[in-house]
Amino acid sequence: MSQRHELDVVELQQCLASRVPDISPFVDQLMRSLKPCIERSRDGDGSDVDIAIAVSEAIANAVIHGNHENPHKWVYVDCRCNLEGEVTITVRDEGEGFELSSLPDPTDEAHLMLAHGRGIRMMQALMDEVTFQEHGTVDEMRKLPGARSRP
Residue 45, domain extent: 2-143
CATH of the domain at 110: 3.30.565.10
Picking from 53, 18, 56, 14, the residue whose alpha carbon sits closest to that of residue 33 is 14
- pLDDT-above-90 percentage for the chain: 47
How many domains does one find in the chain?
1
151, part of any domain: no
pLDDT score for 52: 94
**pLDDT for residue 148 is more than 70:** no
Confidence class of residue 128 from pLDDT cuts 50, 70 and 90?
Answer: very high
Cβ atoms of 77 and 64 closer than 8 Å: no
Closest CA to 104 of 116, 86, 89, 94: 116
Query: Is the model's pLDDT at 149 over the cut of 60?
Result: no
Instruction: Give bridge partners of residue 5 from the DSSP assignment.
Output: 10
For residue 17, give the 3-state DSSP assignment: strand
Check residue 120 and give its pLDDT.
83
Burial of 97 (0-12, 13-18, 19+ CB in 10 A): middle
| Residue-wise pLDDT tens digits, 30-88 | 999 888 877 776 666 678 899 999 999 999 999 999 999 999 999 999 999 887 878 99
d(CA 30, CA 81): 12
Question: Exposed/middle/buried for 59, CB within 10 Å: 0-12, 13-18, 19+?
Answer: buried
| 123 in a structural domain | yes
Q: Which tens digits make up the pLDDT trace of 81-125?
A: 887 878 999 999 999 877 767 665 656 666 555 555 567 888 999
